[in-house]
Amino acid sequence: MSVYESVVRPVLFRWAGGDAESVHERTLGVLAKVPGVRRPHSPPGARRTVFGIDFPNPVGLAAGMDKDGRALRAWPRLGFGFVEVGTVTRHAQPGNERPRLFRLPEHEAIVNRMGFNNAGAEALAARLRALGPLPVPLGISLGKSKVTPLTGAVEDYVTSFRLLSDLGAYFAVNVSSPNTPGLRQLQDKAQLSALLGALRSENRAGRPILVKVAPDLTDAALGELLDVCLGLGVAGLIATNTTIERPVPFDGPGGLSGRPLAPRALEVVRFVAKESGLPVIGVGGITRPEDARRMLDAGASLVQLYTGFIYHGPGLVRRAVAATRSV
């Protein structure tokens, strides 16, 4: 057991009266003061080139951990080979009512119903410009504002993309969060076609655009989604978002992440990689270094951590990098 797991995590989990979101916010505040590094963690055999981008190692930080990019200098220092901020929306929004973030320690899981709480695309653009380039690639996850009806979703995403298009190495189109009403309808063929077509028209610099999929789609629905992605030149996929299924006891809405999601996330990664031939970022249930290796074996080109990082700390990042290096 690492020092983080035996000493730091118990303190963190009791901090702020045990309220998970308060701990998250305070931790980001501490990490925001960490100085950056010039050279990222990139041991021999770790480097990857995926959708035309050079990644110093294949282990990234998933969207949701640092929505507004408050601690961007810290993540490369902790060993991450890339960072994804967001999900960001066109309009600033507070998200859903609290409490909305719940730990399930006995299952190494988290349930969140945050609702895309963020300061908005314009504020993120200003912060990224002030910060300057990172030593690792930066992904930006785009979502729909809650106040925007589905009929206005395309313009909502396009506006965010327009504000941020010169600041991200790649962009993730999040149409799969379970915490914004109606959002998952944008995975339907007609609506996804309209959205991706509009983003492609706006994408004059040719940034890689990825689609983040839900683990709750059937193979048939995933197949339709892949047909749209292939037809509209999507650069890759992120599999998966959180699940609304409850393989562990928990009452109430929200998306489940962590160890219980691992089997389904692997299935989806394997399916979309085989059926599409596109690069895949595998995320969901990576709580051990061998989980990251399994993701690559299933067809992922890169992986991302979120819940595993919360439970196992920075040591998991470097151990996962070691487990995914090319021999």
Residue 64 assigned as binding residue: yes
215 three-state secondary structure: coil
Is 116 annotated to bind a ligand? Reply is yes
223 is in an annotated binding site: no
The reply, when asked if residue 87 is annotated as ligand binding, is yes
**Residue 96 known to bind ligand:** no
Q: How far apart are CA 24 and CA 9, in angstroms?
A: 12
Cβ-in-10-Å burial (0-12, 13-18, 19+) of 312 comes to: buried
Query: Annotated binding residue at 179?
Result: yes
Q: Is there a binding annotation on residue 212? A: yes
DSSP-derived pairing of the beta strands 109-112 and 255-258: antiparallel
User: Is 89 part of any known ligand binding site?
Assistant: no
Q: Does 241 carry a binding-site annotation?
A: yes
For 55, the 3-state DSSP assignment is: strand
The rounded distance, in Å, linking the Cα atoms of 192 and 185 is 9
Q: Distance (Å, rounded) from C-alpha 191 to C-alpha 205?
A: 24
* Sign of the torsion angle spanned by Cα atoms 15, 17, 21, 22: negative
C-alpha–C-alpha distance, residues 131 and 150, integer Å: 33
Catalytic residue among 177, 257, 276, 301: 177
Question: Is 9 marked within a binding site?
Answer: no
Fill in the DSSP letter of residue 233: T
Residue 204 in marked binding region = no
Q: Is 68 annotated as ligand-binding? A: no
What lies within 8 Å, CB to CB, of 180 at 6+ separation is 115, 116, 143, 144, 146
To the question of whether residue 258 is assigned a binding role by annotation, the answer is yes
Is 141 annotated as ligand-binding? yes
> Is 177 assigned a catalytic role?
yes
Range list of H helices, the chain:
3, 9-14, 20-31, 74-77, 121-131, 153-164, 189-202, 219-231, 262-276, 289-297, 307-312, 314-324
Q: Which residues pair with 213 in a beta bridge?
A: 239
Check whether 148 is labelled as a binding-site residue.
no
Binding site residue list: 63-67, 87, 112-116, 141, 174, 179, 212, 240-242, 258, 285, 306-307
Could you tell me which residues are annotated as the binding site for FMN?
A: 63-67, 87, 141, 174, 212, 240, 258, 285, 306-307
Binding site for substrate: what residues are annotated?
A: 67, 112-116, 174, 179, 241-242
Enumerate the active-site residues. Answer: 177
